Structure 1
């Protein structure tokens, strides 16, 4: 499906960290909208999506002049205190359009020049590997969090057919870690996975975050239920994976492989 693009000139880029991201001073979204269009995305129920006539996943707004704007806002914010940035809260900074527009890369270039106290990069895209050169310059002031909801490709296709393949994400984690970029694997939201999933992750990372719809959608699961995600589980005959206790399946499996201090649950795994 072709993505409809709009080019806009935002008045601001850095937004105050609130709610689930209250431990961050700011959130930063290089784009509005996300062409991955995952079925379970909580942003589908937020005003940025509901106020648009087009279906979530079919449109992306590209923020023009983002680097120049961030340079000004970052300098101003640092003058007021500690700056910790979550990128991104309502889009994927490395969705396909980033290949050509390079808005995210331009923002990283600004942050290399004038580093925030901490930058958390949340993505599910192997494209983040392109920016290893910049990420390394941020040293321990950055962490890349790669979403890997499952190790089962057929499950991934069922819930998020437009998202990158699981194998490509795992390979990217390996490349980032080998290069020396701080990384974590983020199993969020938890989708049905195999018993071997923790072993696959253990070979790549020493930090894993586990989150689900009920802890992580900002509404105790209400937003997710309104999307009818339970029906997608039923289609696979895996209804038991859509419950408040399902996270224990994955969490307990991880504990058999990872030390407990390398496993983070929900909000603590995203904290600066």
Structure 2
């Protein structure tokens, strides 16, 4: 793993999902084979494989203080192209410091992660006037998880973290994206732990070879994505969990 400290020029960027995105890091140790954020390699000059490098924006908090004074208040997505609570956050605490700044200034925050390290910041999240935390969980099948996201925390740990956050009164959601085989088992595991669910399809082709290598080409096909996506949406709704299928 190559970790490099860098100074960024800006920290808040426009987002099509929320008003802004904030990415304290470039790259992600999880190294999920399907990750759409692999496109970032084109802009950073990294030759390493995805999952083998992380750039640390050491001036993220200072930039944020400056930028929120100039920008219109809106919801900040932490984050769009990295996991803000990946392993290096334990040392650098950039996400925590940015979260503290946004909370103190009453900016809404939406955290998306796969890491239970987010539990470290529960007290900050509870102080936020308008925050939510989402976990990306693509399947309930541990064997499938090990194929596509071997470097990410175990499924049960993510679900347990959602339950803890939800129990503390923090709004929570699950992002099932990309929809992988075995996702149907998530519904009963998430009951009472999330406020809503989102489902999205496999949209990019970074993991095509992985699907083929493991004999799962069928899970890339439109029939599977439409049928299983609708089944999962209906199952969430039946369990009392509002769910939106994004395709």
**TM norm. shorter chain > 0.5:** yes
TM-score by length of 2: 0.91
Root-mean-square deviation (Å): 2.0
Report the counterpart of residue 165 of structure 1 in structure 2.
154
Report the counterpart of residue 231 of structure 1 in structure 2.
209
2:52 to 50, 54, 58: 58
Shift in CA distance, 46/148, structure 1 to aligned 2, threshold 3 Å = same
CA offsets, 1:164-219, max 9 Å, x none?
Answer: 111110110111101111000111111111543221122422311101123xxxxx
- Asked whether the equivalents of residues 166 and 193 of structure 2 are also in contact (C-alpha less than 8 Å), the reply is yes
Report the counterpart of residue 117 of structure 2 in structure 1.
127
- Asked whether the equivalents of residues 188 and 211 of structure 1 are also in contact (C-alpha less than 8 Å), the reply is yes
CA offsets, 1:37-82, max 9 Å, x none?
Answer: 11111122345567312222111111112212201111211xxx34
Report the counterpart of residue 232 of structure 2 in structure 1.
253
Greater displacement, 164-173 / 24-33 = 24-33
- Asked whether the equivalents of residues 44 and 50 of structure 1 are also in contact (C-alpha less than 8 Å), the reply is no
Whether 2:101 is the aligned partner of 1:110: answer yes
Whether 2:76 is the aligned partner of 1:85: answer yes
Structure 1: which 5+ runs fail to align?
215-223, 268-272
1:32 to 2, 6, 26: 26
2:64 to 56, 70, 91: 70
CA offsets, 1:94-147, max 9 Å, x none?
Answer: 00011111110010111111121x2211111111111110111113x1111100
- Asked whether the equivalents of residues 171 and 194 of structure 2 are also in contact (C-alpha less than 8 Å), the reply is no
- Asked whether the equivalents of residues 139 and 184 of structure 2 are also in contact (C-alpha less than 8 Å), the reply is no
Whether 2:141 is the aligned partner of 1:179: answer no
Shift in CA distance, 111/87, structure 1 to aligned 2, threshold 3 Å = same
Report the counterpart of residue 220 of structure 1 in structure 2.
none
Name the CA distance, whole Å, in 2 between partners of 1:198 and 1:172. Answer: 16
Report the counterpart of residue 221 of structure 1 in structure 2.
none
- Asked whether the equivalents of residues 173 and 183 of structure 1 are also in contact (C-alpha less than 8 Å), the reply is yes
Shift in CA distance, 185/238, structure 1 to aligned 2, threshold 3 Å = same
* Residue 233 of structure 1, CA deviation: 2.3
- Asked whether the equivalents of residues 133 and 173 of structure 2 are also in contact (C-alpha less than 8 Å), the reply is yes
| SS of structure 2 residue aligned to 1:24 | coil
Report the counterpart of residue 8 of structure 2 in structure 1.
10
* Residue 238 of structure 1, CA deviation: 2.8
Shift in CA distance, 209/194, structure 1 to aligned 2, threshold 3 Å = closer
Shift in CA distance, 177/231, structure 1 to aligned 2, threshold 3 Å = same
